[in-house]
Structure 1
Amino acid sequence: MKRIKYTLLLHLFPPLVYLFMRLLYTTLRVEHLNREAQLRIWREGGNAIFCFWHGRLFMMPYVEERKRCKVLVSTSRDGEFISRVVRFFGIGTIRGSYRKASFGSIREIMQSLEQGYDIAVTPDGPKGPRYRVKKGIVEIARLSGRPLVPVSFSATKKKLFIPGTDSSCRCPSQGWCSCGASPYTYQERQAGTG
């Protein structure tokens, strides 16, 4: 019986969640802040590693306009659900983890970056600790030479701080906004300039 419920959940809920997100998005006044660097990377034909906190993943499909993106998703049941939802947005998935030295997923991330895809990851992951960057994302940036672009979103009047950066943004009183910090590369970070 549990297996039947899970199968129904995986087939019925992802399209409903997708439709709910689309409907919700149409009701919001959207403002993108600090987005110039992200757009410049795309204009110059580049790609990047987008990172956002696990607790802020709900509206992230709307940050990636090119739809030439793959997101790292765990191999868990929750990961399967997320994978099926983002597929409706035209976003690919890479199943695995960069924290558990999963060479298959790291290899797929590197190949996808070489093919021009952006990669999206949650550096704190579902198991936390919350708002703590793991080493895996830094290693991927080092190996690939691609910039890390921290992004977030908020739908509050409060000031949103992106932990680990000096960026913040104030969101409109009614609506949704995405915030980006200046991208930096591993080489800049090592030199202390990023």
Structure 2
Amino acid sequence: MPRWLKRLGRRLARSSRVREGLCALAAAYIRLVWTSSRWEVIGGEVPDRLWRANQPFVLAFWHGRLLMMPYCWNRAKTMNMLISQHRDGQFIARTVARFGIRTVTGSSSHGGHAAMRSMLKALRAGESVGITPDGPRGPGFRASIGVVSLARLAGVPVVPVSFSTAAGPMLKSWDRFLVPWPGRCGVFVWGQPVVVPRNADGNTLEVCRQAVERALEAATREADRRMGRITAPEDQSHEDQPGDAPSKSTFSPPDPLRTDDRNVI
């Protein structure tokens, strides 16, 4: 690519007007896909039951199935989504804000503890929190320990959800990001809540982490099956093996065995 074109691209990326315009286009495309397609919801009684009981929860979905998530949510209920401080994360934040979704900013390297405190405050106020357990940079389809640590501290369940569509490319990115075409059909699949005991030790947290991972894998596989897609082999999560690197987290959770809950907020 010519240097002048690279410089132009960098200048445009720094322009607030250009960024806002791209966010508006992204939001418009999401609305177009939703309004022009036929959608089915499987397992919708799971969130409905929690919403009726005014029970907040941690909503978990893979990073690659993020695009249509604004439409899985009950707009009458407040949702806070954990977003990284990276430029891509801020693009997502501005886009989902157009659907009434609030954002909490944090990452594994910057603002992690502040993000944890903000999410706990929201959950304890009766608001729900959305997290991509494999975000923001992977490894893909591997749930981090952070999602279950947050659920334990807040005393709320983790509820998995995924979506798929009959047509649209799956990008060759680390998260296999799905971009649905408008005018087709799609499905949301909800899984059963994963309850994390308040007194969970490290081993129990790992069991719960794997349960979230398997539930997301199952929801994604079922959504793809209903839409006639074959879930790619690399989309299948796997349990930790000896020598595996520790799972990455979108934020840096306090050590669940050493943190005094009263000191988190």
Please indicate the TM-score interval, normalised by the length of the shorter structure: 0.7 to 0.9
State the partner residue of 1:6. 14
Q: CA deviation at 1:99?
A: 7.9
Question: What is the number of equivalent residue pairs in this alignment?
Answer: 178
Match of 2:143 among 133, 139, 152: 133
Instruction: Looking at secondary structure, tell me which structure has more strand per residue.
Output: 1
Distance 2:141 2:162 in 1: 12
User: Can you give the 5+ residue segments of structure 2 that lack an aligned partner in the other structure?
Assistant: 1-7, 168-183, 212-265
What letter matches 1:180 in structure 2? Answer: W
Against the structure 1 CA distance between its residues 70 and 32, is the aligned structure 2 distance closer, same or farther, given a 3 Å change threshold?
Answer: same
State the partner residue of 2:104. 94
Contact 2:85 2:110 in 1 (8 A): no
Q: CA deviation at 1:100?
A: 6.8
- Taking structure 2 as the reference length, the TM-score comes to 0.62
User: Can you give the 5+ residue segments of structure 1 that lack an aligned partner in the other structure?
Assistant: 158-173
Q: CA deviation at 1:156?
A: 3.0
* Cα deviation code 1:7-40 (max 9, x no counterpart): 2431211111111111121111010001211110
Q: Aligned to 1:75, what secondary structure does the other structure show?
A: coil
State the partner residue of 2:69. 60
Q: CA deviation at 1:98?
A: 5.9
What letter matches 1:17 in structure 2? Answer: A
State the partner residue of 1:164. none
Distance 2:186 2:21 in 1: 27
- Taking structure 1 as the reference length, the TM-score comes to 0.84
* Cα deviation code 1:104-129 (max 9, x no counterpart): 00000000111221100000013111
Structure with higher Rg: it is 2
Q: CA deviation at 1:6?
A: 2.7
Mean CA deviation greater in 102-111 or 65-74: 65-74
Percent sequence identity over matched residues? 35
State the partner residue of 1:178. 188
What letter matches 1:74 in structure 2? Answer: S
Contact 2:57 2:129 in 1 (8 A): yes
State the partner residue of 1:47. 56
Contact 1:155 1:176 in 2 (8 A): yes
What aligned pairs does 1:104-143 form with structure 2 within 5 A after superposition? 104-143=114-153
Contact 2:162 2:188 in 1 (8 A): yes
CA-atom RMSD, angstroms? 2.3
